[in-house]
Amino acid sequence: MTVTALDPRTALVVIDLQAGIVAAPVRPHSGADVITRTVELADAFRARGLPVVLVRVSFAADGADTVPGRTEVSRPGGAFPEGWDMVVPELAGHPGDITVTKRNWGAFHGTGLDVQLRRRGITQIVLTGIATSIGVESTARAAHEHGYHVTLATDAMSDLDPEAHQSSVERIFPRLGETGTTAEILELLAKTHD
């Protein structure tokens, strides 16, 4: 276990666990497994009065607010299906949770996430979600740059590309924070917050 500490004011930040994304064929963990493990973490954080932040990505129906710029990989075109951007029911519906809507890969740029965390005195975040190498990694990088301690629940995230997931977990995340399994994080949470 490389997770060494959870600060007294730690938040769980959940990236893009929404209808249209969890339905994708992700690996090495299924969308259902990522949801199950994230729900375990969310329940434990809520039980201790620690914030849970549900981040979702959404765009206007006409796509006018999508990120511009040329890329070598084509972006999805056309309208998104109805409800694709709704947080999965297993996580939705908790009145104390914070919901953040982003229009980029990362959850900090162009959103109020940093303000929401700082107003609550948060000094550390635990990240879960899909996709590891896109939304989760972008958010982890920005959190690190904003001065938060970052913990990554590596079995509560997954990717369309298992090699990209592995690269993030093995090469990038150790430079941004600490990694651990859901069980390891829950064990540490129980030791330090009960």
DSSP annotation string for 165-187 = HHHIIIIIHHHHSEEE-HHHHHH
Domain 10-63+84-193: CATH class, spelled out: alpha beta
Predicted local confidence at residue 166, as pLDDT:
97
User: Is the predicted pLDDT of residue 82 greater than 90, yes or no?
Assistant: no
Which pLDDT tens digit goes with each residue over 29-46?
999 999 999 999 999 999
How far is it, in rounded angstroms, from Cα 104 to Cα 81? Answer: 19
Q: How many helices (H) and strands (E) does the chain have?
A: 7, 6
Task: Indicate the pTM of the whole model.
Answer: 0.94
Q: Directed axis angle between helix 182-193 and helix 31-47, to 10°?
A: 0
Predicted local confidence at residue 84, as pLDDT:
82
Q: Name the pLDDT band for 194 (thresholds 50, 70, 90).
A: confident
Which pLDDT tens digit goes with each residue over 8-31?
999 999 999 999 999 999 999 999
Predicted local confidence at residue 44, as pLDDT:
98
Residue ranges in 13-161 assigned as alpha helix (H): 19-22, 31-47, 113-119, 137-145
Residue type, 97: D
